[in-house]
Structure formats: structure tokens, C-alpha cells
């Protein structure tokens, strides 16, 4: 990693300020003064600022209550991205575990721990994802059966894995999926002749969307929440 990025990450200081500090000979790497912001340093190198040894913060694990209108991507030229919503967190290095459509709301998990992200999203680990949907028409028993058996979606050659669809009042439904295909909930209801009007994710694995989080707000995962994906 570049020296200026390392120091910015370790201290929270803006990169431009860090570059000035480096130019002013205040930084040493393994005891040697350096004026090069672009010098490469490893996590094992001893980086000191004003003679004080810096340490990189540990990995971060967050949940975010995604509002509609935001894209689950780390950059997009057209729409705001979910990383724009983070208030007290430097978005640098964070990635999203399991994307939601721009109009879908609810639980999004973020981290800079690549292995953990891989576990959360890997089909090998089968962490259930639970959604609440509002449909155009009431949910039929045939739809519940089709979700349970699995269905062939247009353009695909493998049927969906068995999924749970529980009808709720006012054209609602709670859907539990054990896989994550492109627009899966919307396409499954469309294949059953219905249309998703609103979609909200409430749970991934054992982690529930914190009801105290307003739309757009985020918080660090508790240790138990983070560890629930490691067992
Ligand atoms: N299924 C969808 O259709 N959209 C989402 O955002 C998530 C699951």
C-alpha cells in the first residue's frame, strides 16, 4: 500500500494533509526518514509519524439500512451509491456483501475483510436471505407451491432452489431465498404472473436489520453478528 494511504488509514487524516506531513520529513519507515508519499509499505513495516508508531485499524463490519434510489456499487457515474451514506466511516476499502436493486430497501452488509465478504456471499455457505415484498395482486397458493418446488427463470437452464413464500395481508409476502440470482425475487413473482411493487430485505443469515436504524443509517456489526458467518 502507498505510504500516504497507510497513514491516512491509520490516523483518519485526509490524504492531501498527509502528503504535506510526509514532505515535511515527519515520517519514518522502519527508522528511515522518507519524503515519498508514493513509497510502498507493508502492514508489517514500522511507520512512525512525529516519532509515534502508527497501527492500522482492524477490519470493519457494518450494516446499512439502504433507502431506495441508491446503487449497491463502489462507484457509479449516474446514481448515488450506498457508500455515500456512511457518516462516520471512511468508505475507502469497503465492499458490499450481496447487492440490492436500486429500488430495493433494507439490509446491506459492508466490510473491508475480503475473506468474510466471500463467506457471506459464497453459495457454498447458504446463508438465507429474507425479504418482505408488496405485490400487485394477492399471493396465490400456486405461487407458494412454485417457490417451494423451484422454477425455471427466463434465459436460465437451472431451476431456482426451493424457496419459502409466506403470503401476508395487503398483498404482502415474506420470501426466504438460499441463493442470490439477478433480480431473483422480482423475476420469480413475474414468472408466477404477479409484479413486485416494493421489496425490502430484513435478514441475511442470522443478522436482522436493526429496527432502530432509520433509512440511510448504518452501524458496526456486533461481534456476535460478525461471527455468525464464521460458524
Ligand atoms: N431480488 C430482487 O429481485 N431484487 C433485489 O434487490 C434482491 C432480490
Give yes or no for residue 183 CB within 6 A of ligand 1: yes
Ligand 1 centroid to 174 CA: how many Å?
13
Pocket test for ligand 1, best of 104, 107, 198 (most atoms within 8 A of CB): 104
Please name the residue that has the C-alpha cell 443469515.
Answer: 205
Thinking of the domain 129-204, which architecture would CATH place it in?
A: 2-Layer Sandwich (3.30)
Q: What is the pLDDT along the chain (231 residues), one digit of tens a residue?
A: 899 999 998 898 899 999 999 999 899 999 999 999 999 999 889 999 999 999 888 899 999 999 999 999 988 888 999 999 998 788 888 999 989 999 999 999 999 999 999 999 988 888 999 999 999 999 999 999 999 999 999 999 999 999 999 999 999 999 999 998 999 999 999 999 999 999 999 999 999 999 999 999 999 999 999 999 997
Ligand 1 contact via 101 beta carbon (within 6 Å): yes
The mean predicted confidence, pLDDT, of the chain is 94
Q: At what angle do helices 15-23 and 3-11 cross, to 10 degrees?
A: 120
Nearest ligand 1 atom, CA 104: 6
pLDDT for res 215: 98
Q: What is the pLDDT of residue 93?
A: 87
Catalytic residues: 101
Task: Output the pTM of the full model.
Answer: 0.82
Say whether domain 61-123+207-227 belongs to CATH 3.30.70.580: yes
Fold designation for 3-53: 3.10.290
Query: What is residue 82's DSSP assignment?
Result: G
Instruction: Report whether residue 11 contacts ligand 1, using a CB cutoff of 6 Å.
Output: no
Instruction: Render pLDDT for 63-101 as a digit per residue (tens, 0 to 9).
Output: 999 999 999 998 888 899 999 999 878 888 899 998 999
Same fold yes or no, 3-53 and 61-123+207-227 = no
Q: Tell me if 184 CB under 6 Å of ligand 1.
A: yes
Amino acid at each position: 500500500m502507498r505510504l500516504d494511504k497507510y497513514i491516512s488509514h491509520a490516523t483518519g487524516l485526509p490524504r492531501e494533509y498527509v502528503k504535506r506531513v510526509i514532505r515535511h520529513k515527519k515520517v519514518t519507515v522502519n527508522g528511515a526518514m522518507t519524503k515519498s508519499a508514493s513509497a510502498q509499505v507493508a502492514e508489517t513495516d514500522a511507520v512512525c509519524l512525529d516519532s509515534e508508531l502508527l497501527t492500522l485499524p482492524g477490519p470493519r463490519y457494518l450494516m446499512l439500512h439502504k433507502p431506495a434510489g441508491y446503487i449497491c456499487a463502489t462507484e457509479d457515474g449516474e446514481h448515488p451509491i450506498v457508500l455515500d451514506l456512511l457518516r462516520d466511516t471512511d468508505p475507502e476499502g469497503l465492499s458490499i456483501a450481496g447487492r440490492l436493486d436500486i429500488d430495493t430497501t433494507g439490509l446491506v452488509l459492508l466490510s473491508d475483510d475480503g475473506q468474510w465478504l466471500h463467506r457471506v456471499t459464497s453459495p457454498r455457505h447458504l446463508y438465507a436471505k429474507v425479504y418482505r415484498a408488496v405485490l400487485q395482486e394477492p399471493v396465490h397458493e400456486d405461487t407458494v407451491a412454485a417457490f417451494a418446488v423451484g422454477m425455471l427463470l427466463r434465459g436460465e437452464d437451472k431451476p431456482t432452489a426451493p424457496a419459502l413464500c409466506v403470503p401476508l395481508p395487503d398483498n404482502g409476502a415474506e420470501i426466504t431465498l438460499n441463493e442470490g440470482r439477478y433480480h431473483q425475487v422480482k423475476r420469480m413473482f413475474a414468472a408466477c404472473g404477479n409484479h413486485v411493487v416494493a421489496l425490502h430485505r430484513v435478514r441475511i443469515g442470522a443478522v436482522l436489520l436493526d429496527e432502530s436504524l432509520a433509512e440511510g443509517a448504518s452501524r458496526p456489526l456486533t461481534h456476535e453478528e460478525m461471527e455468525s458467518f464464521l460458524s
